[in-house]
Homo-oligomer: A and B are copies of this chain.
Amino acid sequence: MNKFNYRLVSRVMGSLMLIESIVLLVICLIPLIYGENDAYYFLKTSGICLVFAGLALIISRNPSSNIGKREGSVIVTFTWIIFTLFGLLPFWLSGSIPSFTDAFFETMSGFTTTGSSILNNIEELSHGMLFWRSLTHWIGGLGIIVISLAILPVFGVSGTQLFAAETTGPTKDKIHPKINETAKRLFAIYIALTISETVLLKLGGMNWFDALCHSFATIATGGFSTKQASIGYWDSGYIQYIITLFMILSGINFSLYYFGLKNKWQKIRENEELRYYLIVLFTFAIIVSWSLVDFSKVQSFQPLEKAWRDALFTVTSLMTTTGFVTADYMFWKPLTWVILLIVMLTGASAGSTSGGIKMIRVVISAKAIYYEFKRLIHPNAVFPVRYSKHLVREDIVTRVLAFTLLYLIVAAFGILILAISGMGFLESIGGLITCLGGVGPGLGLVGPAGNFSYIPDFSKWFLSFIMLIGRLELFTVLLLFTPTFWKN
């Protein structure tokens, strides 16, 4: 194996820090616009970020261009950690979030597009802080889209993503110059969705600030709101349905938009992930809404519409791993909690900003399991797994099964560690699954009406780590902890 290419890693990190520094500088405009006095903290953070970016770029001149899976894993993992370390500074330095642990948790929750919060009173934050908080989602979501659909298919860093690339990704050929072009198109789609939602929310009566912040959080399937009551603050069917629509759109593989633009409708129709994603989403939404209605008391259409809206919103929000809320589902029947936990585990589509296992893996796992039944009856026949009319290689099936199982094992042991750390049973289950999937709200005290402020510091650091490994699909980060990685 080649020597680890520290210079190239340092060079990439330096460039990314430079970008963060510039973004933070631009944010200084927000306090200036709203006449608030905390522009200084963004400026200071931008400066600190610039210094480190400069150092990283200076020590890494003329790197060799050799990049392997190990470099890839380190770059991706440390990008999220370093962005979080700088990103928390405005919150922490300004005293908006006085505890370093809390600031780290909140910022990691932002960049991983999770949306779990430690804030007890979101509205007391300044416009600048709220804007930066929502923007961390948007940056994290963009990062994931570009990494999973433009960079990984070329480098093949994450094995599981390779597969998505082979079946649905826009790049089939593995030529480096393609990265830029693909990334640009994805960026355009990402921006187009964000602007469309912002305009539609403004038309519904939100101000531009809230509309933009919520669009950042929706397209990134993040979930930070500018209001303590989340989307429940706007008791407007229009706004809630618009956000539901954009959450659903954000849970679709971005490659499909690319195909749509190229008029390749056939590719979209054949896409099994999209089909099952929508089937599962609407099936569960119907079951939940049905459980919310007491039919013996229904006199008009209005309570039915409200139940359907809340059910659809909640299932969509948790399945796309956004995490906005309009109702406190802890008052709903336990069956809803089970449904919500299941959709939090599955997540929406690969190649979107959503987290969780992803429907493509769920579908392939389900097929692989079903074919085992066929093999019992016809032991000598060969039943290759098909997906969207393509054959799936045997080793890819094994990889998908291994991923899905690893996800559930990490969930089980994560719940164990949270319980050991002193959290309750509901809180450990809900908190772990929501952070691993990048959702936001959990169950019990960390449910939709609560937050993560009261949990022990250890649990906060552990959940920050869980958000990171969930966002980067387990293998990327956990690889760094295996002996194999360190053997030369």
Contact = CB atoms under 8 A, between A and B. Distances in A.
Interface of A: 1, 69-70, 156, 158-159, 287, 291, 333-335, 337-339, 342, 345, 365-366, 368-370, 372-379, 394, 397-399, 401-406, 408-409, 412, 415-416, 419-420, 423-426, 428, 475, 478-479, 482, 484-485
Given A376-B475, A405-B404, A415 B338 contact: yes
A428 B372 contact: no
A416 B340 CA distance: 10
Contacts of A345: 412
A342 B412 contact: yes
A377 B70 contact: yes
7 contacts: A159-B376, A366-B409, A374-B484, A375-B399, A394-B398, A405-B408, A408-B408
Contact of A373 (B365, B377, B482): B482
A63 to B, nearest CB: 21
B419 A333 contact: yes
A339 B416 contact: yes
A369 B335 contact: no
A167 to B, nearest CB: 18
A288 to B, nearest CB: 11
A428 B338 contact: yes
A398 B385 CA distance: 12
Number of chain copies forming the complex: 2
Given A428-B338, A485-B377, A406 B369 contact: yes
A369 B407 CA distance: 10
A376 B419 contact: no
B399 A398 contact: no
A475 B405 contact: no
A244 to B, nearest CB: 23
Closest 9 CB pairs of A and B: A335-B419, A401-B401, A334-B425, A338-B419, A338-B416, A372-B402, A369-B402, A334-B419, A335-B420
Given A398-B368, A408-B408, A377 B337 contact: no
Contact of A402 (B335, B368, B416, B482): B368
Contact of A479 (B333, B377, B379, B397): B377
Contacts of A415: 338
Contacts of A482: 370, 373-374
Nearest to A284: B416
B408 A377 contact: no
A159 B377 CA distance: 10
A475 B339 contact: no
A156 to B, nearest CB: 7
B398 A428 contact: no
Given A159-B372, A334-B419, A372-B398, 8 more contacts: A69-B379, A159-B376, A333-B419, A338-B415, A365-B405, A369-B409, A374-B484, A404-B405
A156 B379 contact: yes
Nearest to A423: B334
A379 to B, nearest CB: 7
A430 to B, nearest CB: 10
Contact of A397 (B158, B398, B404, B406): B398
